[in-house]
Amino acid sequence: MKKRKKANFLKEKFPYFPFENRKKGELAITTIILIVLGMLVLIGVIFLLTTQKAHFSDFVNMFRSKSNVDNVVSSCNALVSSESFYSYCCEKKNVRVSGDEFELTCEELKEKDFISGRIKSLDCSGQIC
* CA–CA separation, 68 and 52 (whole Å): 27
pLDDT at 41: 95
pLDDT at 45: 87
Question: Could you tell me which residue, 84 or 3, shows the higher pLDDT?
Answer: 84
Ranges of beta strands (E only) in 50-125 are 93-97, 100-104
* Structural domain spans, the chain: 7-60, 65-129
Q: Is the pLDDT of residue 88 over 80?
A: yes
Q: Is the pLDDT of residue 17 over 70?
A: no
pLDDT at 85: 87
Per-residue confidence band for 1, with pLDDT thresholds at 50, 70 and 90: low
pTM strictly above 0.75 = no
DSSP string of 68-85, one letter each residue: -HHHHHHHHHHHHHTT-H
